[in-house]
Amino acid sequence: MTTIQYNESFSNGSNSFIPPEIMDDYQFDLKHFADACGQSPEWVMQLIEHGILPNRDQNNTYRFLGEDITRAQRAYRLQRDFDASFSAVAMMLDLIDEVQELRREVKHLHFK
C-alpha cells in the first residue's frame, strides 16, 4: 500500500499568511473572501457550485466565515498540486475530512 504525505503551506497568493483562527468570528462578502483567499470571485463561486464551500446565500449576498478560508486554501493547493478538477478536489476534501474524523475517533478510543 502506498501512502501519500501531503504537506500544506499557507499563503494567499501574495506571500502573506492569513491565520484563519483570527478571522473565525468575522463574516466576509464574496469579494473580500476571494481577496482573503488570493483568488477570483468566479473561482470561489466554482467552490460553492461543487459543494466545496457551503452556500450561505442570503438575499443574493454570499457570506463566508473565517473557517471557509482554510477550506478554500486547501482546495486551491489540491487543485494546483494535483492539477485536479473542482469535482476531484471536492472528493479529495471529503476523503481527507473523513480520514481526519476517523483518526480523531481512533485517538479518542485509545485514551479511554
Per-residue confidence band for 60, with pLDDT thresholds at 50, 70 and 90: confident
Q: Which domain holds residue 56?
A: 20-110
At 65-92, the pLDDT tens digits run 999 999 999 999 999 999 999 999 999 9
Residue 57 lies in a domain: yes
Q: What average pLDDT score do residues 50-79 get?
A: 93
Cβ-contact 35, 13 below 8 angstroms: no
CATH number at residue 43: 1.10.1660.10
Per-residue confidence band for 22, with pLDDT thresholds at 50, 70 and 90: low
pLDDT the model gives residue 32: 95
Q: What is the pTM of this model?
A: 0.74
Residue 91 lies in a domain: yes
Residue 10 lies in a domain: no
Residue 28 lies in a domain: yes
Higher pLDDT residue, 107 or 13?
107
Specify the number of domains making up the chain: 1
Residue 62 lies in a domain: yes
